[in-house]
Structure 1
Amino acid sequence: MPTLSPLRSFLPRRGPRLPTAALLLTVALLAGCAIAPPRTDDPLQKINRKVYAFNDRLDKAVLRPAAVGYRKVTNPPVRRSVSNFFTNIQMPITIANDLLQARPSDALGSTGRFLINLTIGVGGIFDPATKMGLPLQTTDFGITLARWGAPEGDFLMLPLLGPSTVRDVWHYPVDGYFFDPLSIVARTHYFDYGQYYLPQVLYVVSMRSQLIDAEGFLQSAYDPYAFLRDAYRQRRLYMLYDGNPPAEVIEKMQGIDQQGFDPDELLQQQKQWEQQHSTSKPAPSKN
């Protein structure tokens, strides 16, 4: 049986735009199970691992300290309001991609959610739309390309941005330039001191602060890079199929449909690999 199926009860119908943030939340859900050496194709692995190491160093030096400081000077209601605001202000990205995917009913529901939270929710800092039966459903241009048949391409680990693929990477320039209200405001207004960067900085720090409680799960993985990569691909698969991917698609991604695949042999390899690494890897820090 495909090992992805337990995620169906946890993952949203369509996940958030920022891949790294939602991805680490998925990692937290997956972390209870050991991950064997991945069977997925990763021809750029050597380069990707170097970029991952760079991102990890940058996170420890800059992003995590900023997120820790943000948590110290704010309380949960304030952080929730900030998160609600950024989630709502980016809804035009979802609305535009719903239309590009020929899903007018989804676009209408997302528009209703955006307007309700923008007005009744006081600019989006509150979320009355969810209580009114309009749950958050987000998508992006990478999913739009996938729905129109674009292949996934190789896995990419991007500097600063994190996991992506050759197909998904296009959502950054397209969504960011054409559909992101914050980007449009920054591009069309003049600021003397670069104030247009402040909302983006606050957004990144806010998202990173949400992951502090879950980051220990990633640190406990035998191979954090592989764990992050496979969790990303799984999450994108669930987004593409609205939380219910066909079993044959899951099997294809995991290599189960390949000729000569032996699940018993794979299980034995996994056990051996875990035994070798469990004695050599130090326990994750609790700090």
Structure 2
Amino acid sequence: MQSKTIQRQLRAGLIALSVLLLAGCTIAKPRNDDPWEGFNRKVYKFNDAADKAVIRPVAAGYRKITSSDMRRIVSNFFANARMPITIVNDVLQVAPKAALHNTGRFVINSTVGFAGLFDPASELKLPPDDTDFGVTLAKWGLPEGPFLVLPLIGPSSARDVLRLPVDSYFDPLSWYAKDHDLRLHAEEFPSILYLITLRARGIDAEGLLDGIYDPYVFYRDAYRQRRLYDIYDGTPPAEVTDQLQGTGDMDVDKLLDEQHAYEKKQGAGTTNDQH
């Protein structure tokens, strides 16, 4: 069964590599419009309600019963376990240096680091690095397409949504869930715990939304900017960043006026409450 899995992976890799050779390596320009905004806002509202009702309380409970050291060890384990996703995408992106770097991290942390619980690779000057199939598609030149918010998953795009099934194909957590059939679907527990660790880390950044006039716009643009940094290895060209900011087809002054009006209104409300 394991050999069949490896054969399927190799076949998928060869097919993807063929597409790469045909598509070239020109990175497609980002989209700064939002044609699916109506749908996205509804899903964003649903996700926000689900987060407040269930997901965040579970993540907060996880933080309460664990120490920072324990959470770091758990995060190390999951980062290492999912490293095959990065290595495969490094190969598909024809980035041999990155592939060797991440293979070295994976081998060292899987052995000396006790199955990834610790991170000796960073001390050996092999710092964390990750990528995914969405970045691979961008480097192949596939356009980003419209921004998209998925129920219970969160921000994505017409291009990035394709990474979900492809990356899961190379994800050991998915392999474990598919190869086991435990009572009460316990085979899904590692994947659920991984998602809880991600949400728990996000609690520290929640203050960024305080005072934001339109959290959805902040949420959308923050995702797009982060993806640009992923695609350009942390240094996107200035012209690409300008295009993402939409200075050509977005009324930035209007947005600033709305934000200032919102802050003024909030300030007036606070003053009235004090009186």
Q: Structures share a fold, TM > 0.5?
A: yes
* Residue number in structure 1 paired with 2:194: 203
TM-aligned CA deviation for residue 238 of structure 1: 1.1
> Which is higher, the Rg of structure 1 or of structure 2?
2
- AA matched with 1:172: L
Matched, 1:160 2:145: no
* Residue number in structure 1 paired with 2:58: 66
Matched, 1:230 2:210: no
- Listed as ranges, the gaps of 5+ residues in structure 1 are 1-38
Q: Could you state the TM-score of these two structures normalised by the residue count of structure 2?
A: 0.82
Q: How does 1:71-82 map to 2 (within 5 A)?
A: 71-82=63-74
TM-aligned CA deviation for residue 250 of structure 1: 1.5
Q: Which has the higher contact order (CA 8 A, sep 6+)?
A: 1
Partners in 2 of 1:94 and 1:272 — Cα distance? 42
- Listed as ranges, the gaps of 5+ residues in structure 2 are 1-30, 271-275
Matched, 1:148 2:133: no
Deviations 1:48-106 (A, max 9, x none): 00000000000011111111111111111001101111111000000000011111121
TM-aligned CA deviation for residue 219 of structure 1: 3.6
* Residue number in structure 1 paired with 2:237: 246
The 1:83/1:65 distance shift into structure 2, 3 A limit, reads same
TM-aligned CA deviation for residue 190 of structure 1: 2.8
* Residue number in structure 2 paired with 1:276: 261
Preserved contact between residue 89 and residue 131 of structure 2 (Cα < 8 Å): yes
Deviations 1:202-223 (A, max 9, x none): 1111111112122122243221
* Residue number in structure 2 paired with 1:100: 92
- AA matched with 2:257: Q
* Residue number in structure 2 paired with 1:214: 205
Partner SS state of residue 184, structure 2: coil
- AA matched with 1:44: W
TM-aligned CA deviation for residue 270 of structure 1: 4.0
Q: How does 1:109-128 map to 2 (within 5 A)?
A: 109-128=101-120
Q: Could you state the TM-score of these two structures normalised by the residue count of structure 1?
A: 0.79
* Residue number in structure 2 paired with 1:5: none
Preserved contact between residue 82 and residue 171 of structure 2 (Cα < 8 Å): yes
Partners in 2 of 1:256 and 1:272 — Cα distance? 15
In percent, how many aligned pairs have the same letter?
A: 53
* Residue number in structure 2 paired with 1:22: none
Partners in 2 of 1:64 and 1:149 — Cα distance? 36
CA RMSD of aligned residues (A): 1.8
Deviations 1:139-168 (A, max 9, x none): 000011111110000000110110000000
- AA matched with 1:227: F
TM-aligned CA deviation for residue 271 of structure 1: 3.9
Partner SS state of residue 196, structure 1: helix
Counterpart pick for 2:37 among 30, 34, 45: 45
Q: How does 1:125-144 map to 2 (within 5 A)?
A: 125-144=117-136
* Residue number in structure 1 paired with 2:83: 91
Instruction: Report the count of equivalent residues.
Output: 238
Preserved contact between residue 146 and residue 158 of structure 2 (Cα < 8 Å): yes
